[in-house]
Amino acid sequence: MTQSASILLVDDDWHLVQSMADWLRQLGHSVDVADCVDGAKASLQQRRYDLMITDLRLREEDGFVLIGHARKHHPETTVLVMTGYGTPDTALEAIKAGAFDLLTKPLIDDELNLAISRAVSQRDIERENEQLRERLDRRTGLEGIISHDYRMMKIFDVIDSVADARASILITGENGTGKSMIARAIHERSSRRGKPFVEVACGALPDNLLESELFGHVRGAFTGAATDKVGKFQLADQGTLFLDEIGTATAAMQVKLLRVLQEFQFEQLGGTKTQSVDTRVILATNEDLSKAVSEGSFRQDLYYRINVVNIVLPSLRERVGDIPLLVDYFLREAAETCGREVDAFTPDAMAQMQSYQWPGNVRQLQNVVERAVLLSRGNQLTLEDLPPEVLGKIADPMSPSMNESPMAPPNLSVTPVDLQNKSLREALEGPEREIILHSLRRNNWNRAATAESLDINRTTLYKKMKRLGLDDPRLQFAQ
């Protein structure tokens, strides 16, 4: 049986159009009728139709005009054409104009029914494909990274700029800031998106196993190596290899990585044959590699090799304006997964989450939202649904010193390491920026009030804001 559809039937033969409408209604379709181009346009404007069936000759008007109008303004409506003067050229012209099919009068019931069934099926397939594309975009593209913070917008611009570059990219940021998602977004925005994206957590493996994991090994290379194994560099050939926690690599592993990143050649563990690959490498760390270089624990030549493009991800506490967006996304996702009817967090609960420092960043926020949904007793999530560390009732095991309010005075402590190789002006820029930013937030970004509270004139404030990168208007939405 043909699936029911909403149909607009257009013909200037009023008896024919009424007879067809009655027959289509008996088949279970919802049918409206029109006898001219203007009448059909008015009906299309008032209601969304699955299908429009139209004659090519409508009084003194051309049916091709109506087909073009529907294609341009109502692309969701499939068009079937019927005519008493059908020729191959007419059919070809109708299809080019945007018609799905052409039927010749007098119409045969089975032929019309089959054409409607095909048109409805085609419509359903197109809708399913569109939904699939949207889901894939959310999972693999930048659309899956939820933010309206100006820092993240700049990162998105960088991703688009370097997506197809062969150079290595280093992503730095605290744990839980989404380094893996950024790496995957770069891959999906590149010409390599149809090839493998392979991820390796370097810190999870001892040195000998990491070498085998990256480069593979030959049979007998070590105890337990009963067969040959292909490494991740080969598996990611033509695609992207993402090396997370690169700061944990040992000195010996750093030497091997330097060679493969320079020459894209290597030997398997225990093997002598040189392998060549075309693998794009993205690396990530939560450590300060420049400090590790100065301390001698990370090779300087490898650091310069991998730090061609450095993407620095801000922590969640630096983009508090994104918290409501992220909470809403995680809430809907968790509610669907758990089968719970949950609407939103109360304003008090949301305010508490925005005042918390989130040492675990986005990953911690996601876990907190999932926990709240699982333990919820109603449609509204309240302060009672938040864990004690977010409420400030216990010290956060992840960061015992990070439970201060964003409106509390900034931490301006400076260590000798902070002053290393810096002039006095450079050393003072960090505390000065924090003081001005804190005052701007406290005064709701009123510059006159901020200048007064800091006891400086407004011109001086504007100059300092520009020098310290505080003049971007989007910054106020990240507080």
The domain boundary, picked from 136, 156, 174, lies at 136
Asked which of 239-248, 261-270, 284-293, 400-409 is least confident by mean pLDDT, the reply is: 400-409
Q: Which tokens is 347 given?
A: 């304003």
Q: What is the pLDDT of residue 395?
A: 54
Q: Specify if 60 maps to a domain.
A: yes
**Pick from 302, 403, 415: which is nearest to 358 by CA?**
403
Q: What is the pLDDT of residue 265?
A: 92
Q: Is the overall model pTM greater than 0.75, yes or no?
A: no
Q: What is the pLDDT of residue 400?
A: 40
Confidence of residue 341 (pLDDT cuts 50, 70, 90): confident
pLDDT digits (tens, 9 = 90+) for 56-105: 888 777 788 888 888 888 888 888 888 876 666 777 787 778 888 888 87
Q: Specify if 89 maps to a domain.
A: yes
C-beta atoms surrounding 416 within 10 Å = 6
Q: What is the pLDDT of residue 280?
A: 93
Share the mean pLDDT of the chain.
83
Domain extent at residue 194: 143-312
Q: Specify if 398 maps to a domain.
A: no
User: Which has the higher per-residue pLDDT, 417 or 39?
Assistant: 39
Q: Specify if 466 maps to a domain.
A: yes
Question: Is residue 280 domain-shared with residue 321, that is, in the same domain?
Answer: no
The domain boundary, picked from 91, 109, 136, lies at 136
Question: Is residue 23 domain-shared with residue 164, that is, in the same domain?
Answer: no
Q: What is the pLDDT of residue 298?
A: 94
User: Which has the higher per-residue pLDDT, 207 or 373?
Assistant: 373
| Res 302 pLDDT > 90 | yes
Q: What is the pLDDT of residue 141?
A: 43
Confidence of residue 204 (pLDDT cuts 50, 70, 90): confident
Q: Specify if 72 maps to a domain.
A: yes
| Res 464 pLDDT > 60 | yes
| Res 402 pLDDT > 50 | no
Q: Specify if 402 maps to a domain.
A: no
CATH number, domain with residue 467: 1.10.10
Say how many Å lie between the first and final Cα of the chain, rounded.
58
Question: Is residue 283 domain-shared with residue 362, that is, in the same domain?
Answer: no
pLDDT mean over 338-366: 90
Q: What is the pLDDT of residue 313?
A: 93
| Res 461 pLDDT > 70 | yes
Looking at the structure of the chain, the number of domains it has is 4
What Å distances lie between residue 391 and 115, 351, 435, CA to CA? 62, 11, 26
Question: Is residue 351 domain-shared with residue 454, that is, in the same domain?
Answer: no
Give whichever of 214-223, 249-258, 410-419 has the largest mean pLDDT.
249-258
Give me the residues paired with residue 54 across strands: 10, 81
CATH number, domain with residue 266: 3.40.50.300
The domain boundary, picked from 111, 136, 161, lies at 136
CATH number, domain with residue 328: 1.10.8.60
pLDDT digits (tens, 9 = 90+) for 157-190: 899 899 988 889 999 999 999 999 999 999 988 9
Question: Is residue 149 domain-shared with residue 218, that is, in the same domain?
Answer: yes
Q: What is the pLDDT of residue 414?
A: 55
User: What are the backbone dihedrals phi and psi of residue 375, each rounded to the nearest 5 degrees, phi first?
Assistant: -95, 0
Q: What percentage of the chain reaches a pLDDT higher than 90?
A: 32
| Res 397 pLDDT > 70 | no
Question: Is residue 175 domain-shared with residue 303, that is, in the same domain?
Answer: yes
User: Which has the higher per-residue pLDDT, 468 or 247?
Assistant: 247
Q: Which tokens is 274 given?
A: 């040189």
pLDDT mean over 330-354: 90
Q: What is the pLDDT of residue 68?
A: 87
Q: What percentage of the chain reaches a pLDDT higher than 70?
A: 87
pLDDT mean over 248-255: 91
